Amino acid sequence: MSVRRLATTQPDSFAFNADSEAEVAFWMNKYPPERKASAVIPLLWLAQKQEGWVSEPAMREIAARCAMPYIRVYEVATFYTMFNLEPVGVHLIQVCGTTPCWLRGADGLKAVCEKRIGKKGRGHLSADGKFSWEEVECLGACSNAPMVQIANSEGDYYYEDLTPQALEAILDDLAAGKRVEPGPVTRRHCSEPTNAKVGVLEDASLFDGSRAGRFELPNRARPQEPLAEERKSRPASGAAGTGGEAAIAPKKARKTAADGAAAAEAEAEKPAPRKPAAKTPAAKKPAAKKPAAKKDE
């Protein structure tokens, strides 16, 4: 991420207006007194929605409200790219340029912005100061590509299924001070198929369960119960030449045999018991030699 710095020109002061103060009170009351710093991001966002960007005096005011060092507020504001650190147009046009939108014509939308607004970048404003634009990564509306997000004091709204002509019309309305209805310009509902023969959720049989009665499952015997014909064709138990009990062994007998085999295998794996070591007889001491008898002189 590139280095983000504050704008060279800064206002002398900053103050939240009455509407913003009500929102500030809501967020400050959301956290206990010793956790006031948790409200730093909501307050930065409120300052941006009020002024269009976050100024240095606004950061100092927020630091005082949150009882935190100014440098901590500065770190948050410069880290998150959603905060504008310099003045932008009244309407910030964010054009998605990721693959789905690009395949569906995002280049045409960027061409409109270049023609109507000028150079790409938040700090480059249109001649009337109403617009600035930038290219952004995926905004999560791939099924309605191409699309843009327009941020202003009212909020951040998606405009989808765009064409260059549709974006031109939106910019004309915004320049004239008109409110533009957000969402797909084709007026389809969310991301419903545009060529569907049946409108999504318009045919009651799609979701009321009535279609389930048209499909009947075949009447099959349960897996544990063989068919009658199969039972008849089976040889009787113990019949000569058919294998009898060996062919259809009772479950209990099979289990007993398996248990016996397992027990035998476990017994075979046991180590052989050790035999006690044989005691070696103690070595016999040599018999003491008797002194030889002295001969008579």
With H, G, I as helix, E, B as strand and everything else as coil, classify residue 49: helix
pLDDT of residue 297: 46
> Per-residue pLDDT averaged across 182-207, rounded?
76
* Percentage with pLDDT > 70 across the chain: 70
> What dotted CATH number matches 18-79?
1.10.10.1590
- Condensed to tens digits (0 to 9), the pLDDT of residues 247-297 reads 555 555 566 666 777 777 777 666 666 666 666 656 566 666 666 665 554
How far apart are alpha carbons 130 and 171 in whole angstroms? 10
Q: What pLDDT does residue 140 have?
A: 92
Q: Is the confidence at residue 13, as pLDDT, over 80?
A: yes
d(CA 80, CA 95): 19
Q: What is the pLDDT of residue 3?
A: 76
* Domain ranges (residues) in the chain: 18-79, 91-184
Alpha carbon of 23 to those of 16, 130, 250, 261: distances in Å? 10, 26, 77, 76
Reported as a single tens digit per residue, the pLDDT across 111-154 is 999 999 999 988 899 988 999 999 999 999 999 999 999 999 88
Q: What's the confidence (pLDDT) of residue 257?
A: 62
pTM for the complete prediction?
0.61
- Separation between Cα atoms, residue 214 and residue 71, nearest integer Å: 68
The reply to whether 18-79 and 91-184 are identical in fold is no
Q: Domain spanning 91-184: which CATH class is it, in words? A: alpha beta
